[in-house]
Structure formats: C-alpha cells, structure tokens
Structure 1
Amino acid sequence: MTAVHLLREAGPEQVCVTLVEQHARAARGLAYRIWDDSMLLNVPAGNMSALAEEPGHFLAYCRDIDPAFNEGSFVPRRLFGDYLEHTLRLTELCSATSFHTRSCRGRGGAANAGIATLRDQFGQWCCARGRSGGTRARTCGGADLALR
C-alpha cells in the first residue's frame, strides 16, 4: 500500500513511482492470493481498510459486491486481495503522479534480469525516484537502496 499512499500524497512533479511485483497481479500479497473462498479473514470487514483516514473503505467495497455484508462479516481473503488490487488501480487512474508496474517474474530481457536479481537479493520493493536525480528504494525488510 506504499504505492497507493505515494500516489495519493505526492504531486506530479515530486516523484515517479515504480512498483516491482513478482506476480502478474499486483497488491495481493501471499495471504490474499488464495482463491479458496472458505479461507476467511480473521478480522471482521468493518475493522479493515487500506486507508486509515477512511475506516469504512473496505466495508463499502464489500457492500458494493453484496449489500448483505456488514461490519461483523468475516469475508474471504480473496475478496480483500481484490480490494487491495482495486484500490491500487483506482488510485493510479486518479493520480497525476507517474506510476509504473514492473514484473520481475521472468529473466528473459536485460531489464527483467536486473529486477529479478534485485528481487532475489533484497525482496519485494517499492521505488520512489526524485525528479532532482537519484533513485532510492526501500524493501519490505527495511533496507534502503540507492539505485542507478
């Protein structure tokens, strides 16, 4: 969700956001790539949101799918993954900030090989490049990287 917050907060001249994702569908994470709808979240829908300033954001998404969902509903993990993916795509469409998603699944081309190597060495990362020059990335593990 770092990419969502960067896209929402940064002006178009401040950053260019590149999300490097090892899977074809971004923003899902391991816990939310599960397609078995019997695998439920362990927190009710009313207590979940990708946006702290909008605590009912996820519940509203659920109710758009089925009005029977309520604050106490335990919904499938897949649905939260759909919500995260939807939130990223909607934010991307509404943002004036430059945003790109790069896949690091394959090692076919030179660019992908470099990203895959970075993925193997440091984990998933989100990169924010300042318009004034250098590029920096922070991994999920907290390592700060200067990129060239």
Structure 2
Amino acid sequence: MKKLVRSIALTTLMVSALAIGANAQTKVKNDSARLARKEAHQKLKAVLSPEQQATLKANQEKHKEARKAFHASLTADQKAIIKDKSLAPKERHAKLAATFTDEQKKTLADNREKARADRKAFVATLNDQQKAQMKELMKSQHGKRGFRHHKAQKA
C-alpha cells in the first residue's frame, strides 16, 4: 500500500513539474515575442517623421474605436462564441461569422475599407527610403511576407 501511495505521489509530482515547465516556456515565449514587437516598434518610430507618427497613432485610435463599437453590437451568443476556447481559432471565426447580421457585416466591411484607405494614404506619405526601411523591418519581423503594403507598391 505504501508503494502505491509513493508511486501516485511521485507521478503527481512529475506531472505537476511538467505542467509548470510547459507554462514557464509559454510565458518566456510570450515575453520574447512582446519584446520583439517593442523593438520593432522603436525601429519603426525611428524611420517615421513626427507627422507620420501622429498620423499612424490617429489611425490606430480610430480603428480601436471602430473595433469597440463593433464589439458593442455583438449579442450575448456571439460573445459566448468568442470566449469558447474549445474551438480552434478558425472554427471560432467561422462560427461567429455565420451569426453576423447584415448590419454587422456591413459595419465590418466599412471598417475594413476605411482601414485600407487609411493604410494607403499613410503609405503615400512615405518616401522611397522609408518604404525600403519599413520593408526591411517588416521582413525581419514577418519573414518572407514583409509588410502588407508591398503589394500596392509593386502594382
């Protein structure tokens, strides 16, 4: 009986240690990702003029308010879908999108168009050197994808 209790206690201890180790690795990974984003943000600020930084900040605030307004339009069922962690992110997105009303779909489309227009207007303020620096910055941050605006520049 003592051996059984010891083996259960040892097994529990080992499982707990593994879980704590996995949690610590996830936290380290999240912290390093946050640090990398912060570094990239500082480099980005160095590339942009104060006026461009102000424009970027204003656009971010505008889009943040639009997201808040859209989130306020969600029903309790839709909010429950968002919080349902048993679904994979793609499944959760698909399930949520299936519940959108026509008005919510229109709001999303309008927000997307405004964001694209703002992005296009912002990119138009960049000179060639800034575009090259930003492309390099985003390439190091996102790998081969670079930054989203490079498609518009190629056309």
| TM range, smaller chain | under 0.3
Higher normalized strand content (fraction of residues): 1
Q: Which has the higher contact order (CA 8 A, sep 6+)?
A: 1
TM-score (normalised: structure 1): 0.23
Larger Rg: 2
TM-score (normalised: structure 2): 0.23
